[in-house]
Every structure is written in C-alpha cells, then in structure tokens.
Amino acid sequence: MDRKEIKPYSQCNVLIVDDEPMSRLLLQTILDTEFHCTTVESGSDAISYCVEALPDLVLLDMNMPDIGGLEVCATLKAAPETKDIPVIFVTSTMDIKSENACWEVGASDFVMKPVNASTLTHRVKTHLQNKLRTEFLEMMTFHDQLTGLYNRMYLTKEIPLLIKQVARDQSTVGVIMVDIDYFKLFNDTYGHLEGDICLQNVAEILSDNIRRPKDAVIRFGGEEFLIILPYIDEDGTKLVANQLVDAVAKAKIPHGKGIENRVSISAGFAVWKATDVVRDDLAALIEDADSSLFEAKELGRNQARG
C-alpha cells in the first residue's frame, strides 16, 4: 500500500472458496467488476493460498468435503499472519446454532444462498473498507512519514511482543544500529530537501536488503536506523550488517564531503538471547549495538562492528 493513500477496491484481492464450480463462477462474475478475484475449490487450498498471498477478504462456503468452512476460518484466525483477513461465509442453510458457530470462529459476516448480487457486493465493500481503514491508521501510527519505515512507536509497542515470542522459543535477537556518515555535512552542502531525499534513498536500500518477514527496519531518529533481526545468530547478524554497509556504498549516492565522495553508513551490531532482552530491557541491547556503532565511527566509518 502507498504510505499516503488507501488502496482502491480494484486492487483488493478477494478469495472465493467453494467446491461447486457454478457457485465459484457466479460469485466471481458478481464481484469481478469491482475487485480482483481468485477462486479455489477446497478448504486446504484456501488455507495455503491465504498463507502465501494474504488476500484482502475471503468469501467462504460453509460446507466443503475436505475441510469445512468453520475449520478453515478458525485456522486462519489462529495464525498471526492471516488473523486479520475478514471472512464472509456463504451458506444455503443458517439456523441459530450455525450462525453462532460462524461468530465463534471469527467470521466477519455471512450471506445466504441464493446470493443477492447487490447485497453481496455492498457487504464485501463494507468489510474491505473497515480493513483498509484499519491498515491505513496502523500505517500512519507505526510508520515514519518521510521514509515509510517503522517508527519509534512501533519499536515501543510491537517489538517487545516479538521479542517475547522469540524468548518463548529460546532463540536469539540481533540488532544493528546504522548511522549515515557525515550527514550534517551533507545537509550543510546540499540543503535539507536533498537531505530528505538521501534519507529516503538509504531507507530504501536498507529495506531492500532486509527480506525476512519478521525483520524490522526502524527509523530511530534523524539519520539513525535500527534493524531488529529475530531468530538469528552472531554470524548472521554480522553478515547482514556488512551487506548493508556494502549496499549503501555500491549505490554511489553523491556526497562531496563524504568518504570517497559518496554517501556511506557505519553500523554496530549486537546479539543477545531473547530471554536476556526480556529481563534487562530492549534499551540495553540497543545500547550494546550503539557502543559498537561508536567503535565503527572511531575506526574510520563506512564499516560494521560488533
């Protein structure tokens, strides 16, 4: 999603799940003019697709031969990656017991067969609108508006939850503190507008080189960035830190008063057991990485230390 706009309906992916070919075709025909639709014919295919593609909404038949709709919905709602996808049941029979079962597994709504095209379209729009607005508000809350990276609010509110999960799994957390070398001189030389563009370029390079789903790149403040790497050892963290330094250097962003007349970064990293981070506080781990960053600067910048 663009960090300034809510995604239009035409870009929303609606997954239609039904074991009857004619039902899938009917639902797709109704919705295809407004949304991008994908169809699958089984509950197991629906779960696999949702995990891989993360559709914006699922239109789900309640009665299917392999895995019933209720179980599919419950499975999606139990997984952190798919729990926020709205699920609308499509059913031909709906008594009080079935209706309650839909709500209990986390459904957002249900529609009755035979489907009324206008009602179906409006209900899909309503739930998509709610989801998109929630995502937009979350994006505005947890993302830095200049770079699009996560911000300090995300670091404070969400990262501790992630670290507690890593601690439960008895694994480790790596952090990398990154600082743009001689950034004040860059602003003094080229102006603050060019400085903002430089920050955006470096942020994009960092994001492009941090690829695992649970990793996070955070704008820590000014020209400083913080990378959180769960489930990683010291060798892996060192490798990533060096890759980031190399990637920024290879971009050759002009900086007349920088190292070799280009923008470069310094990085400091640290790796702790997640249980120690929970015990001693995340700030202590960040301070450890920050000490290594200071060392990298003292040794000449444009390098990683840890």
The answer to whether the peptide bond before residue 114 is cis (omega within 30 degrees of 0) is: yes
Q: How confident is the model at residue 132 (pLDDT cuts 50, 70, 90)?
A: very high
Report yes or no: 227 and 178 within 8 Å, Cβ to Cβ. yes
Q: What is the pLDDT of residues 75-121, one digit of tens each?
A: 999 998 899 999 999 988 778 888 898 999 999 999 988 999 999 99
* Stated length of the chain: 306
Question: In a 3-state reduction of DSSP, which class is residue 281?
Answer: coil
- Please check whether residue 192 is in contact with residue 200, taking contact to mean a CB–CB distance below 8 angstroms: no
What is the tens place of the pLDDT at every residue in 167-179? 999 999 999 999 9
- 241-294: pLDDT as tens digits: 999 999 999 999 999 999 999 999 999 999 999 999 999 889 999 999 999 999
The conformation of residue 7, written as its DSSP 8-state character, comes to P
Fold of 9-140: Rossmann fold (3.40.50)
Q: Tokens 């909404």 belong to which residue?
A: 57
- DSSP secondary structure of 109-171: EEEESSPPHHHHHHHHHHHHHHHHHHHHHHHHHHB-TTT-SB-HHHHHHTHHHHHHHHHHTT-
More confident position, 135 or 273: 273
Domain 152-305 has CATH 2.60.40.10: no
Where are the chain's structural domains? Answer: 9-140, 152-305
Task: With a cut of 70, say whether residue 58 has pLDDT above it.
Answer: yes
From CA 57, how far away is CA 130, in angstroms rounded? 11
Q: Are 179 and 297 in contact (CB under 8 A)?
A: yes
pLDDT (mean) for 233-237: 96
pLDDT at 138: 80
Burial class (CB within 10 angstroms; exposed 0-12, middle 13-18, buried 19+) of 12:
buried
Structure confidence at residue 135 (pLDDT): 84
